[in-house]
């Protein structure tokens, strides 16, 4: 069983990466062969969908983007995975640009223009998305309409099989708040959340990693 973890944050050890890595530990514990990819790695040069429509050409390879760049091998891995987990910080109310570009290239080839009800899924998979945000709680999340943008974005992975969404609020943005112009942010509160609640989010991520793999095992049979 293969589990692929996609970090859509430029920070390789930020909130999103830490949660994804915990989920990866859980997946490993559940017996998966795991791999972690940082989409903002400087060696990765790619764009979103180039609208070449090669994925819709008659007789062409279906269900996968064949545009040749550094993302193509990662898309092959995503296609082969039994478990796919994506993570992203919320950036100006949306997932990051690099995660969106990845998702365009992953999802559009599976959209079946000949039968919208039956996506072109080469290998069904269990998936999840983790979003992290400065936003303090679920009420604010809804007030900002993130429940529309984020939930819609995450649910798109549902075309490949069962999918879950995990949210981590009120994250720690800087190691030292005193260095930044951020008078509206209560550094003491942030430190407390980081110390007391974030570890619980890490536990939740670990459990999510295990759960997805258990579910994938049932699917594989």
Residue 11 near ligand FMN by CB under 6 A = yes
User: Closest residue to ligand FMN, Cβ-based?
Assistant: 14
Spatial contact of 9 and 190, defined as CB atoms under 8 Å apart: no
- Is residue 63 within 8 A of residue 32, CB to CB? The reply is no
Position 153 contacts ligand FMN (CB under 6 A): no
Strand partners, 128: 85, 164
Phi, psi of 132 (to 5 degrees): -115, 150
Distance of alpha carbon 131 from the chain centroid: 7
Q: Note whether 204 binds ligand FMN by CB under 6 A.
A: no
The per-residue b/e assignment along 118-130, b for 16 or more CB within 10 angstroms, e otherwise, is ebbeeeebbbbbb
Determine which residue in the list 69, 151, 173, 177 makes contact with ligand FMN, applying CB under 6 A: 173
SS3 state at 84: strand
Closer of 62 and 194 to ligand FMN (Cβ)? 194
- CA 103, CA 81: separation in Å to the nearest integer? 15
Q: How far is the CB of 168 from ligand FMN (least distance, A)?
A: 7
Query: Binding ligand FMN by CB under 6 A: which of 51, 92, 114, 184?
Result: 92
Single out the residue of 26, 89, 95, 109 in contact with ligand FMN (rule: CB under 6 A): 89
Give, as ranges, the residues between 106 and 135 that touch ligand FMN (CB under 6 A): 132-135
Binding mask 17-46 for ligand FMN (x = CB under 6 A): x-----------------------------
Span between the terminal Cα atoms of the chain, in Å = 11
- In total, the chain counts a number of residues equal to 221
Tell me which of 16, 98, 129, 204 binds ligand FMN, using CB under 6 A.
Answer: 16
The residues binding ligand FMN (CB under 6 A) are 9, 11, 14-17, 89-93, 132-135, 171, 173
């Amino acid at each position: 069983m293969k589990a692929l973890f996609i970090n859509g944050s430029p920070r390789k050890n930020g909130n999103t990466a830490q949660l994804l890595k915990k989920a990866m530990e859980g997946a490993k514990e559940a017996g998966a062969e795991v791999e972690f990819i940082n989409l903002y790695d400087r060696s990765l040069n790619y764009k979103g969908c180039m609208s070449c429509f090669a994925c819709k050409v008659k007789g062409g390879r279906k269900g996968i983007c064949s545009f040749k760049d550094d993302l193509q091998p990662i898309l092959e891995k995503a296609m082969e995975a039994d478990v796919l987990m994506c993570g992203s910080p919320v950036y100006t109310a949306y997932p990051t640009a690099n995660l969106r570009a990845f998702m365009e290239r992953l999802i559009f080839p599976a959209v079946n223009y000949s039968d919208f009800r039956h996506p072109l899924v080469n290998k069904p998979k269990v998936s999840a998305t983790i979003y992290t945000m400065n936003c303090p709680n679920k009420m604010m999340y809804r007030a900002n309409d993130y429940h529309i943008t984020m939930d819609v974005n995450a649910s798109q992975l549902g075309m490949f099989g069962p999918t879950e969404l995990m949210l981590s609020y009120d994250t720690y943005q800087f190691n030292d708040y005193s260095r930044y112009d951020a008078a509206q942010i209560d550094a003491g509160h942030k430190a407390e959340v980081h110390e007391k609640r974030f570890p619980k989010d890490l536990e939740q991520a670990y459990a999510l990693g295990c759960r997805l793999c258990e579910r994938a095992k049932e699917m594989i049979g």
